[in-house]
Amino acid sequence: EDYLGAARRGLFGGGNKKTNESVSSDRVAIESLLSGKVAKAAHKRARKNGEETGSFVVWGAKAGSSEATSIMKRLKLVPTSSKGGKRPILGVVYPANVNSKEILSSRNIVPKLLAQHHCNPPPDAESMASWMNTLRKRHAKQYKIMQDAAKEIQMYKERIEGYKESVKSDTERKEKEAKEKAELKAKAEAEAKRKEEIEARRQELKE
């Protein structure tokens, strides 16, 4: 998609009312998100000794869409305006565990707002990358919590899959054994019947 064209349609904006100033603000925000500097900041490892994965994922929605309205309400994002125009809404969200005792349940993972940029003015590529790097350093403990939780969830899934595979294997083995036992029984019965028929024939010939 042409994101600069999308800016004119309200992508990343705070509402449907788009003035020339707000369209320009959208363009600045989108260009920043698509820049190499922001990509480098997003792909940077969250912790020196952590997982070799990026630390941010960029997501956007068209202003006024049901998707944008829903996420704004859920995260309690506050739209800001200037001179009647809507500024872009730029926030950082993280998956929070609402019940540490049941961390393995996906029902306990909810999105929460970590920080929201004032976007007055919207940050250029360098400023946005700097903001992201500051947040990464400031919330290093939160990254560790998320990465530890991800590892635990992965291990749990592997255990579940291993258990399912073990049950499946055991069921298949029992079915195979039962089938082989039935086949042996059928062969034994057929052989016994054959011998009875041979013996009966012999008796007939003697008579």
Query: pLDDT tens digits for 177-196?
Result: 999 999 999 999 999 998 88
Please tell me the distance from the alpha carbon of residue 76 to that of residue 26, in angstroms, as a whole number: 20
Cα–Cα–Cα angle for 116, 118, 123, nearest 5°?
100
Please tell me the distance from the alpha carbon of residue 45 to that of residue 182, in angstroms, as a whole number: 59
- Token pair for 86: 């809507």
Query: pLDDT tens digits for 93-135?
Result: 888 776 655 555 556 778 888 888 888 888 889 999 999 999 9
Query: pLDDT tens digits for 138-191?
Result: 888 888 888 787 788 788 888 888 888 888 888 999 999 999 999 999 999 999
**Amino acid symbol at 179:** K
The mean predicted confidence, pLDDT, of the chain is: 78
Contact 40, 58 (CB under 8 A): no
Q: How large is the angle between the packed helices 20-33 and 125-138, nearest 10 degrees?
A: 60
Please tell me the distance from the alpha carbon of residue 81 to that of residue 60, in angstroms, as a whole number: 19
